[in-house]
Amino acid sequence: MSALLFFLFLFSDVIEASFFSASGEPIVRNISELAQSNYGRGGLSHVTVAGSVLHGFKEVEVWLQTFAPGSGTPIHRHSCEEVFIVLKGSGTLYLASSSHKQYPGKPEEYHLFSNSTFHIPVNDVHQVKNTNKDEDLQVLVVISRPPAKVFIYKDWSMPHTAAKLKFPYYWDEEYFQSPKDEL
Ligand SMILES: *[C@@H]1O[C@H](CO)[C@@H](O)[C@H](O)[C@H]1NC(C)=O
Ligand SMILES: *[C@@H]1O[C@H](CO)[C@@H](O)[C@H](O)[C@H]1NC(C)=O
């Protein structure tokens, strides 16, 4: 093999190696081509951009979610940090921050708007809702400590102890059922 060919061989190897991450996913991916689903929840479109069970992330998970007018998350809490960036639309954050009571109680309401960001304090009960009748609400969500362990409330007066653990969460379910290395 000539020196030049050998060099090209080495070079192509480097390109190949940097193209795929440890999970076997390409480093750069087209968001429009990632799997999206409503996971049985009306008005939702969810994309796991970077996932724990899906891509092997240990510290963070990133979601892209779109809520049709009137739809939103359940009333819930989790013991992870969560940061939102509103990419499109507007809506309302309902946040019950008092951790002293037996139940969440009447939440504070915060107006969410395009290009706004907000975070949910660990364990605070909250709900994000598209309260704009005319436009989808699209958010980028980052959570810590994946996969998400979510406690769901029927309403704001449900005792914290009665909130129901949903684990694995909707989009993690199918991957928990079929182990990843079983192709
Ligand atoms: C990303 O995917 C969408 C949908 O398939 C496609 O229209 C678009 O051209 C893609 N972008 C690039 C840069 O390939
Ligand atoms: C969001 O805010 C940043 C910082 O001011 C700005 O650069 C960006 O253009 C804004 N984006 C939109 C869609 O308004």
Domains of the chain: residue spans and CATH: 30-172 (2.60.120.10)
Question: Can you give the pTM of this predicted structure?
Answer: 0.84
How far, in Å, from the CA of 85 to the mean position of ligand 2?
11
Determine which of 102-111, 130-139, 169-178 has the lowest per-residue pLDDT on average: 169-178
Determine which of 41-45, 155-159, 176-180 has the lowest per-residue pLDDT on average: 176-180
Question: What's at 146, amino acid-wise?
Answer: P
How far, in Å, from the CA of 29 to the mean position of ligand 1?
10
Q: Does residue 169 register a pLDDT over 90?
A: yes
Rounded Cα distance between 19 and 92, Å, is 40
Please confirm whether the linkage preceding 168 is cis (ω < 30° from 0). Answer: yes
Taking the CA of 116 as reference, the closest ligand is: 2
Average pLDDT, the chain: 88
100 is in an annotated binding site: no
How far, in Å, from the CA of 116 to the mean position of ligand 2?
9
Other CB atoms within a 10 A radius of the CB of residue 61 amount to 26
Strands 75-78 and 108-112: what pairing? unpaired
**Mutational test site, ligand 1, from 28, 29, 30, max ligand atoms within 8 Å of CB:** 30
Question: For residue 48, what are the CA distances in angstroms to 61, 86, 89, 138, 170?
Answer: 8, 16, 20, 14, 11
In this prediction, residue 25 carries a pLDDT of: 79
In this prediction, residue 97 carries a pLDDT of: 81
**In this prediction, what percent of the chain has a pLDDT beyond 70?**
82
